[in-house]
Structure 1
Amino acid sequence: AGQPTLRLTDPEGQRLALLAGGSDDGFAPWRRSPVPVEFQIRGLGHVTLTVDRLAPTARVLTDVLNFRQSGDYPAADNANLRTVVFETGPGGPGAEVRVEERPDLPPTQLGSGGVHHVAFRAPNDSEHRAWRDRVRSAGIGITDVIDRFYFKSLYFREPGRVLFEIATDGPGFATDEDAAHLGEKLALPPFLEPHRAEIEAGLKPLDSSVSSPAPPR
């Protein structure tokens, strides 16, 4: 979509893309990274949904979730099909959803290399409940509020069968550990702690060590 793009897959087969030309707004360098600051990833960009029919998904994004259509471009591997861009708020990274209409592709199955759901943020409990009521009033089935300890969640499927989550910002992942050490060990909410051994046994080891800090710039 006009940006230099490097497409890749991770070891599980998940499709990823690195985009050049991002903004430094909100970027906080990780000083312990072996990657020099000027080459570090600035943040998360858009998410791309692949559906067989664009119109029903577009209606949910615009009429229910308050996105707006802001452009389109040819699909990456089929110039005859389009990818449509939807934005909310200021748009740009973290506020953009792209939808590929791909009736030529077979249905997929959830598994390694797939994304389970797409999550949207609600700043507090009252707005969270308001979104639940708004989705229900549109005739879309949605769960009741689910307490995940670190945040509260609502789930619903849009017409293209993509699972959407609306999650509160708080209480936050620093609820039970120091924010400076997030990600250094597996943290579990209290309701999953009794199953820690079973959960850890099913995880692949992840090397989170850092060989050396990046030199000052």
Structure 2
Amino acid sequence: MEHTILGIHHITAIAGDAQQNFDFYAKVLGLRLIKKTVNFDDPGTYHFYFGDEIGNAGTILTFFPWGAGIQQGRRGSGMATEIGYSVPAGSLDFWIKRFDAHNVAYHQPSEIFGEKYLTFFDPDGLKFELIESKTTDNRKAWETHEIKADVAVKGFHNITLTLNNIEGTANLLTTVFGYKLIAKTANRYRYATAAVENAAIVDLVELPQEKPGQVANGTVHHVAFRVKNDENLMHFHDIINALGLGITSPIDRQYFHSLYFREPGGVLFEIATENPGFTVDETLEDLGKNLKLPKQYESKRKEIEAHLAKIN
């Protein structure tokens, strides 16, 4: 598996109110808050990381909650438009009842590619599917008092990209990332990598007349793909740089090292390492309990803490 893209690492989206964001993902969906830090480019904004117990790649959903006054975004071409989560078979009835109890907007269950799914929206309008995967998902889900392993969210199943033309994106996925086209229905093309068992699928939806999306509240900011280490990161840096896609130099994100570039369809992609992981600055038991700041902002902790909303 040397120099291999290992599926989805994390997905980052934009939210409004920080408390509302925390309440929905930690309490309603039952994900673990594994890291509470700040946006490295805007330390006055939180950066929340939600995932499984230890923040395994393929389970990590992160948010920049920019406040209640942020402009509402719009799903459209050139962006990731749907996030698919894997859940155990037979669990959708539980989630329908839970969404009813918590006033969560959802659609009635449907089926695609032989998999039953339930579409729902978070309080900011971010679109998801809970998917009963037809492939085995042995990942250990994070449990809460109300959400047990037999119904709990396991981690990502897929990400959907909406594009005016899929050709360039499909070529990147197949020739650089090692994905293969495994299914097609209407204008949806499903690509997957055999390098990992889960968080391995990218769906491309081709809508030639779709207007460009607007990245703001309730939309996905970027999709990150996983590599094992820094050597693999630089391997892909050199390949993508040679394609003229304008990839960045490596950036230290404290919990992983990253490269960023826009793929041919316009979606912001990141490639991120597994190392060093989320326990680099706090214990497994304490993940998400305290505000963790990158070294460059530690001297301004009091000022930053005073500006950030208190999260209960």
Instruction: Write the deviation string for residues 165-199 of structure 1: whole angstroms up to 9, x where unpaired.
Output: 00111111110011223223332322244555447
Verify the 8 A CA contact 2:227 2:233 in the aligned structure 1. yes
- Give the structure 2 partner of residue 175 of structure 1: 280
The 5 A counterparts of 1:159-174 are 159-174=264-279
- How far is 1:84 from its partner? 0.5
Mapped pair 1:87 → 2:192? yes
- How far is 1:47 from its partner? 0.5
Instruction: Write the deviation string for residues 117-156 of structure 1: whole angstroms up to 9, x where unpaired.
Output: 1101111111111110111122322111111121111011
Mapped pair 1:12 → 2:124? yes
Q: Point out where structure 2 has 5 or more consecutive residues left out of the alignment.
A: 1-111
Deviating more after overlay: 193-202 vs 118-127:
193-202
Residue 167 of structure 2: which of 55, 70, 79 is its match?
55
Q: Please give the alpha-carbon distance, in whole angstroms, between the structure 2 residues aligned to 1:91 and 1:122.
A: 11
Q: Please give the alpha-carbon distance, in whole angstroms, between the structure 2 residues aligned to 1:3 and 1:108.
A: 27
Mapped pair 1:157 → 2:269? no
- The one-letter code of the counterpart of 2:227 is A
Verify the 8 A CA contact 1:24 1:42 in the aligned structure 2. no
Residues 185 and 41 from structure 1, CA distance in 2 versus in 1: closer, same or farther, beyond 3 angstroms?
A: same
Higher relative contact order, chain-length normalized (CA < 8 Å, sep 6+):
2
Mapped pair 1:41 → 2:153? yes
- How far is 1:22 from its partner? 5.6
- How far is 1:159 from its partner? 1.2
The 5 A counterparts of 1:108-187 are 108-187=213-292
- The one-letter code of the counterpart of 2:203 is R
> Which one has the largest radius of gyration?
1
- How far is 1:39 from its partner? 1.2
Residue 98 of structure 1: which of 203, 211, 219 is its match?
203
Q: Please give the alpha-carbon distance, in whole angstroms, between the structure 1 residues aligned to 2:297 and 2:214.
A: 26
- Give the structure 1 partner of residue 179 of structure 2: 67
Structure number with the higher strand fraction is 2
Q: Please give the alpha-carbon distance, in whole angstroms, between the structure 1 residues aligned to 2:306 and 2:163.
A: 34
- SS where residue 143 of structure 1 aligns? coil
Q: Please give the alpha-carbon distance, in whole angstroms, between the structure 2 residues aligned to 1:146 and 1:43.
A: 25
Q: Please give the alpha-carbon distance, in whole angstroms, between the structure 2 residues aligned to 1:62 and 1:200.
A: 47
- The TM-score, its normalising length taken from structure 2, stands at 0.58
Deviating more after overlay: 162-171 vs 180-189:
180-189
Identity %, equivalent residues: 36
Aligned residues: 199
Verify the 8 A CA contact 1:9 1:15 in the aligned structure 2. yes
- SS where residue 130 of structure 1 aligns? helix
- SS where residue 191 of structure 1 aligns? helix
Q: Point out where structure 1 has 5 or more consecutive residues left out of the alignment.
A: 75-81, 208-217
- How far is 1:90 from its partner? 4.5
